[in-house]
Amino acid sequence: MISDKMLSALNEQVREELYSAYLYQSMSAFCDFKGLKGIAHWMDMQTKEEMIHARKFYDYILETSGMAKLDTIKAPPHKFGTPLEIFQEALKHEEYITKRIYDLVDLATELKDHATFNMLQWFVNEQVEEEATASEMIDKLNLIGDHPGAMFQFDKELMTRPAPVPPVAQ
């Protein structure tokens, strides 16, 4: 049985992950509108990945006999800047999520909740990957600069991102 304090923090994280999905979907819509179909597709796949994150927390709450409480999700921004600025915003968001995951790990440690601590290790590793991916895109876009041909190629490459595969239940 999970403590009320941990349960409430995990429910809050479900909402944060759903907001992440909402944010990336909004970035996708903006990029699609601007004709950047590859980045739009990449953001679409990222949205699916965030839904998997939300589901993983949700399933864990149910598994521990907790009550999953879905709360209001705030509206994401609808206008973004250049592709470089979009990925910079994505990185900033991922750094925020990493901090939240670390806070959850700290709480699990404080409460001696070993099961939740173990579950969270998947997210600790996942956040390393999430930040690295956004950083890699920023590096590429810095190299591209305002070269339209290179941007066209970059956008085309992002079209190849496959759909994420949900992790096997632990």
DSSP 78: S
- Which residues ranging from 58 to 117 are in contact with ligand OFO (CB under 6 A)? 94, 97
Distance between CA 131 and CA 126 in Å, rounded?
9
Which phi and psi (to 5°) does residue 121 adopt?
-60, -30
Q: CB-wise, 20 or 28, nearer to ligand OFO?
A: 20
CB nearer ligand OFO, residue 103 or residue 147? 103
The Cα 164–Cα 170 span in angstroms is 17
Q: Which residue is closest to ligand OFO by CB?
A: 20
In residues, how long is the chain? 170
| Closest approach of ligand OFO to the CB of residue 9, in Å | 15
Least separation in angstroms between CB 58 and ligand OFO: 13
* 10-49: contacts with ligand OFO (CB under 6 A): 17, 20
Please, what is the end-to-end C-alpha distance for the chain in angstroms?
17
DSSP three-state, residue 79: coil
- The reply on whether position 119 binds ligand OFO by CB under 6 A is no
Q: Could you give the CA distance from residue 44 to residue 2 in angstroms, rounded to a whole number?
A: 34
What is the smallest separation between the CB atom of 73 and ligand OFO, expressed in angstroms?
13
Q: Quick one: 111 or 164, whose CB is closer to ligand OFO? A: 164
Cβ–Cβ contacts within 10 Å for residue 132, how many?
A: 12
Candidates 76, 130, 141, 151: give the one binding ligand OFO (CB under 6 A): 130
Binding site residues, ligand OFO, CB under 6 A: 17, 20, 50, 53, 94, 97, 130
